[in-house]
Amino acid sequence: MESAQGGKALPRTVRLLIAARAVNRLGAFSLSFLTVLTTTNFGASAAVAGYISAAFGLATIPSRLIGGRLADHVGTRRTIVIGLTGCALAQLGLALSSGLVSAACFAVLLGLAFEIYEPPSQAMIADVVAPSEQVRAYSLLNVALAVAGMGAGLLATGVGRWDLRWLFALDAVTCLFCALIVHLVLPADRPAAKAAAERAVSAAPWRDPSLLVMLAAGTLFAVVYLQLMAMLPLSLELRGLQPADAGLLFTTSALTITSGQPLLQLSRVASISASAAFISGYLLLALGLAWYALAHNLVAYIAATIVWSVGDLLLVGRAYAFVAGLAPTGAKGRYLAVYGTSWGIGGIVAPLTGTQLLEHVGPTGLWCAASLACLVLAALHPAWIRTASDRARGETPFLDQAADPPATG
């Protein structure tokens, strides 16, 4: 296996998976309009619309766990197809709903299907990519989703002017198209006998202390990161700027992460240890968020966004590669699913804490608190990594040097 510096192409399976997921993400713009759909088309109050959105968010937590279990038991390709098809059916249900009750039911069903395809996508990468290349593979997946997300916003601007229902209908079409691509071009799942032999290895993710430590760290990170997604527009408005400028800042972040991908292949960057990468990434995030606390014009916000996005570049994909290294054979789906619930938990905690902080201490206090959380992560993560490495089953070389070629090959 060539080093990251050598720039060896990722396996065809990974490239096809990333392309399929990007197509899916290109159409995944409807969820931002779920609250608006329930208020304008079905006459719900703002409070009821909020409850429906919260119910969707809660449903995504078991959805990811279901995806992990299915990935380990019926195969990654089948699970991705099941998840995407389920999303499509729920979105079509929303588009065709005639009343608020049916719309709310389909919103919950969408939440239950929404995260099913995430664990198998991540597990498929871990199965076919060498440990030394997994960080790059996960990073490319996230970059592809970010770039497609920018295009999704443009599509939403055009389609949403006709009828909000069309957003959900078009999203359903992209899900079905992505499912078809996955079914036709990705390798078939391994024979059941071989999978059963692998599953014979006992695996209890919720009893693995190393994974639980990573889950705690991931949840804190998710809470901080989702503050950016949920609270940045409100923060800009309180500073006298246009809330819509948050879209420009999100685009700046995506462009920074995308253009910075070649840096991950430089030998000096690719060879740094997991501890050093996590520390550097969290410190840059802390600096960028602290800059937000002081910023009072758009130029300062853009500069701060570039700084924290470089930190995100160092972190994206690294945690998933680390967790995949913790998982025993045949349990990657379940391990990645448990770790991924951090985003579901963060999705509930972030808006609650963020709105309270904005109300009581304003934007300055919000971003200072987020920056402090990143400093805590930077201080504690090296110890957590050492603990996880000590507990790992024969994979210590990879866990200690997440971006390095494994010592054992």
CATH assignment of the domain containing 338: 1.20.1250.20
Radius of gyration of the chain (CA): 21
Is 142 within a domain?
A: no
Question: Are residues 154 and 54 both part of a single domain?
Answer: yes
Question: Are residues 129 and 207 both part of a single domain?
Answer: no
> Any idea what DSSP says for residue 241?
S
pLDDT over 70 (residue 79): yes
User: 7: left (phi > 0), else alpha (psi -120 to 50), else beta?
Assistant: left
Question: Are residues 194 and 317 both part of a single domain?
Answer: no
In terms of residues, how long is the chain? 409
Is 2 within a domain?
A: no
Closest residue by Cα to residue 292 from 337, 344, 357 = 357
Is 143 within a domain?
A: no
CA 33 vs CA 40, 50, 321, 390: distances in Å: 10, 12, 33, 46
Q: What is the pLDDT of residue 4?
A: 38
CB of 340 within 8 A of CB of 115?
A: yes
| Domains of the chain: total | 2
Question: Are residues 196 and 238 both part of a single domain?
Answer: no
Lowest mean pLDDT: which of 69-73, 127-131, 304-308?
127-131
Is 6 within a domain?
A: no
The 10 Å Cβ neighbour count of residue 299 is 9
Question: Are residues 116 and 248 both part of a single domain?
Answer: no
Question: Are residues 186 and 310 both part of a single domain?
Answer: no
Is 52 within a domain?
A: yes
Q: 109-167: per-residue pLDDT in tens? A: 988 988 888 888 888 887 777 777 777 777 777 777 777 766 655 565 555 556 667 77
Average pLDDT, the chain: 77
Is 140 within a domain?
A: no
Q: Give the best-scoring range by mean pLDDT among 133-147, 193-207, 382-396.
A: 133-147
Q: Where are the alpha helices (DSSP H) in 97-208?
A: 100-114, 118-128, 131-159, 164-185, 192-199
Q: What is the pLDDT of residue 193?
A: 39
Q: What is the pLDDT of residue 157?
A: 57
SS3 of 195-216: HHHHHCCCCCHHHCHHHHHHHH
Question: Are residues 159 and 49 both part of a single domain?
Answer: yes
Amino acid symbol at 371: S
Q: Which residues make Cβ contacts (< 8 Å) with residue 167, sequence separation at least 6? A: 29, 30, 33, 37, 156, 159, 160
Question: Are residues 301 and 396 both part of a single domain?
Answer: yes
Q: What is the pLDDT of residue 393?
A: 46
Is 3 within a domain?
A: no
Q: What is the pLDDT of residue 267?
A: 67
Is 409 within a domain?
A: no
pLDDT over 90 (residue 28): no
CB of 252 within 8 A of CB of 353?
A: no
Residue 196 pLDDT grade (very low, low, confident, very high; cuts 50, 70, 90): very low
Which residue segment(s) compose the domain that 130 sits in? 12-134+149-200
Question: Are residues 228 and 193 both part of a single domain?
Answer: no
Which two three-digit tokens encode residue 235?
Answer: 């923060």
Question: Are residues 337 and 196 both part of a single domain?
Answer: no
